[in-house]
C-alpha cells in the first residue's frame, strides 16, 4: 500500500509533531464527575492514559501503579546497542505527575479482585477502583522456546525490554572479535514492535560494517514476511552484503537454543553464534493473566471503542498487552489507544457513552543512523475489532533519494522527543 508523496509528507509531518494521535474529539469536562481510576503500568500506554483522564476530568482520582522508579524506553534502544546513543537518553521519571494531580504508586501490582474492584500492591496496599486500566506491556514466554530460560537470557540476551539487557547485548558486540558471527532470532507474530528485529539487524550490520568488517550477521526468522520488508531488503542489498536473512520457508524458525554451545537450532540445521540475540515469543504482561483479561493466546481481547476487556467488566487494556486488530504493538499505538481509552473511561465513570474513535500509528525504523523508513496506518472499529481505514497511510516510497531517507531519520528523532515529552514531560 503506497500513498501519494505529497499527501504522505503532510501526513508524516503531522504525525511527527505528535498532533492528535487519536483523532477523537476530547469530551467536555464532565460536570459533577468523580470516581477512582487505577492504571497499572507507567509506560507509553499507562502513563498517557492516566494523564489524559485527569486532563479530561480533573475530578476523577487517578493513580498509576508502576513497579520501576524510572521508565526505560525501547524506541531508539537499538541505537544504544550499537553504541550510538546512551541508555540515559532512554530514561524518564515520574516527577511531573504530581503537578497534574496524578498519584504514582511505586510498587508492583500483584493481584486484582475484579468483583470487589480493587488492586493489591506488592507492599500489601489495596487500591479500590471504579475502572481499572492495564497497560503492563509484554512478558517473555519462558516456556515458548526450549532451552531459552531466564538464565539463558544472560548469555543470549533478548534486549526486548530496554535496560540491563540492552547494555549486555552492547557489551557482547563490543567484546566480539572481528570475523565473528552475530545471530538474531525473530519470533512469529504477534510480538512487540513488528519492524524492531529488522531495525536492530540493520543497525548491528551498520556497526559491523564500520567497526568489525570481517564479521557477519544472520537473522533467523520464524516468518516469511515482515513489516517494511521491501524497504529493508532493498537497503540491505545496497548497504550490508554481510547480512543474511533466513525466512521460515528456508529454515529460519528456531526450535530450540543450546546456550552451552552458543547454538541456535532449526529444523534445517544448527547455527553457532559468537553473539546471539534471541527475540523470543511473548505475551501480555503477567498482571493481565492474573486479572483474568488475557485469553488462551496470552493477549487481551478488547472492545475497540472503549478498550474495555471482553472478558472482565470495568477493566480496560491498552498497549502491547491488548489484541488491537490491525494496529501493531508500538509505542505510538499504545499512546493513541491510551487517549481513546482515557476519553472512554472518563465518559463511563460518569454514566456516559464513549464515542467511536479513529486511531493513527506511524512506525519509523532506522536502517542506518541517517537512513529512516516508515509505515503509517489509520484504524477504526469494525466488526468488533480495529481495522485499517482503506486508502489511509502506507509505507515510504521504495525509490526515494538518500535526502528523503535522511529526512525520515530526523522525523524519527522528532517523533521520539515529542512522544516522550508528552508522556513524561
**Which residues form the interface with ligand FAD (CB under 6 A)?**
40-46, 65-68, 71, 74-75, 77-78, 108-109, 135-137, 160, 192-193, 196, 285, 287, 319-321, 329-332, 334, 363-364
C-alpha cell at 181: 558471527
As measured in angstroms, the least distance from the Cβ of 128 to ligand FAD is 17
Nearest CB to ligand FAD, comparing residues 90 and 181 = 90
CB-based closest residue to ligand FAD: 43
Long-range contacts of 238-242 (CB under 8 A, 24+ apart): 239/202, 239/205, 239/206, 239/209, 239/367, 239/368, 239/371, 240/202, 240/205, 240/206, 240/209, 242/205, 242/208, 242/209, 242/213, 242/215, 242/216, 242/217
- Residue of 109, 126, 106 whose CA lies nearest to 118: 126
CB of residue 91 to ligand FAD, shortest distance in Å: 12
Q: Could you give the CA distance from residue 347 to residue 157 in angstroms, rounded to a whole number?
A: 43
**Smallest separation, CB 425 to ligand FAD (Å):** 16
Query: Which C-beta is closer to ligand FAD: that of 263 or that of 335?
Result: 335
Given 3-state DSSP classes, what are the helix, strand and coil percentages for the chain, each rounded to the nearest 5?
Answer: 30, 25, 40
Q: Please, what is the minimum distance in Å from the beta carbon of residue 134 to ligand FAD? A: 8
Q: Which residues contact 10 (CB under 8 A, 6 or more apart)?
A: none
Measured from the CB atom, is 54 or 200 closer to ligand FAD?
Answer: 200
Beta-strand ranges (E) seen in 25-142 are: 36-40, 61-65, 71-72, 91-92, 102-105, 109-113, 118-121, 126-128, 131-134, 138-140
- Rank residues 245 and 299 by Cβ distance to ligand FAD and give the closer one: 299
Among residues 30 and 323, whose Cβ is nearest to ligand FAD? 323
In the complex, least distance from residue 77 CB atom to ligand FAD, rounded to whole angstroms: 5
| Nearest approach, Cβ of residue 199 and ligand FAD (Å) | 7
* Nearer Cβ to ligand FAD (233/413): 413
Least separation, in Å, of the C-beta of 400 and ligand FAD?
19
- CB-CB contact of 415 with 362 (8 Å): yes
State which residue, 21 or 30, has the beta carbon closest to ligand FAD: 21
Amino acid at each position: 500500500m503506497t500513498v501519494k508523496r505529497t499527501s504522505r509528507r503532510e501526513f508524516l509531518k503531522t504525525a511527527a509533531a505528535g498532533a492528535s494521535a487519536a483523532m477523537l474529539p476530547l469530551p467536555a469536562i464532565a460536570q459533577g464527575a468523580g470516581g477512582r481510576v487505577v492504571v497499572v503500568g507507567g509506560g507509553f500506554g499507562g502513563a498517557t492514559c492516566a494523564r489524559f483522564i485527569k486532563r479530561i476530568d480533573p475530578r476523577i482520582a487517578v493513580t498509576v501503579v508502576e513497579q520501576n522508579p524510572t521508565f526505560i524506553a525501547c524506541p531508539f534502544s537499538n541505537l544504544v546497542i550499537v553504541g550510538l546513543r546512551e541508555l540515559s537518553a532512554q530514561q524518564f521519571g515520574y516527577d511531573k505527575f504530581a503537578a497534574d494531580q496524578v498519584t504514582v504508586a511505586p510498587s508492583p501490582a500483584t493481584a486484582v479482585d475484579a468483583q470487589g474492584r480493587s488492586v493489591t500492591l506488592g507492599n500489601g496496599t489495596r487500591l479500590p477502583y471504579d475502572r481499572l486500566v492495564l497497560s503492563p506491556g509484554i512478558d517473555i514466554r519462558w516456556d515458548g522456546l526450549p532451552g531459552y530460560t531466564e538464565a539463558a537470557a544472560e548469555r543470549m540476551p533478548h534486549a526486548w525490554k530496554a535496560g540491563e539487557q540492552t547494555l549486555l547485548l552492547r557489551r557482547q558486540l563490543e567484546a566480539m572479535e572481528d570475523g565473528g558471527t552475530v545471530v538474531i532470532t525473530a519470533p512469529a507474530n504477534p510480538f512487540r514492535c513488528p519492524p524492531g528485529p529488522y531495525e536492530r539487524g540493520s543497525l548491528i550490520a551498520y556497526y559491523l560494517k564500520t567497526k568489525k568488517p570481517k564479521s557477519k550477521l544472520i537473522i533467523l526468522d520464524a516468518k516469511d514476511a515482515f513489516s517494511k520488508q521491501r524497504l529493508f531488503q532493498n537497503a540491505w542489498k545496497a548497504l550490508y552484503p554481510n547480512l543474511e536473512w533466513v525466512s521460515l520457508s528456508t529454515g529460519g524458525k528456531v526450535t530450540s537454543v543450546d546456550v552451552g554451545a552458543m547454538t541456535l537450532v532449526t529444523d534445517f540445521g544448527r547455527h553457532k553464534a559468537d553473539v546471539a540475540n534471541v527475540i523470543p515469543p511473548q505475551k501480555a504482561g503477567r498482571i493481565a493473566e492474573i486479572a483474568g483479561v488475557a485469553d488462551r493466546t496470552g493477549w487481551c481481547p478488547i472492545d475497540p471503542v472503549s478498550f474495555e476487556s471482553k472478558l472482565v467488566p470495568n477493566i480496560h487494556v491498552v498497549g502491547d498487552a491488548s489484541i488491537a486488530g490491525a494496529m501493531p504493538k508500538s509505542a505510538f499505538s499504545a499512546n493513541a489507544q491510551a487517549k481513546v481509552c482515557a476519553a472512554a473511561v472518563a465518559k463511563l465513570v460518569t454514566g456516559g457513552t464513549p464515542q467511536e474513535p479513529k486511531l493513527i500509528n506511524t512506525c519509523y525504523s532506522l536502517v542506518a543512523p541517517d537512513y529512516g523508513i516508515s509505515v503509517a496506518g489509520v484504524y477504526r472499529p469494525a466488526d468488533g475489532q480495529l481495522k485499517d481505514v482503506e486508502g489511509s497511510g502506507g509505507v515510504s516510497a521504495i525509490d526515494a533519494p538518500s535526502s528523503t531517507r535522511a529526512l525520515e531519520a530526523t522525523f524519527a528523532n522528532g517523533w521520539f522527543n515529542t512522544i516522550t515529552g508528552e508522556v513524561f514531560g
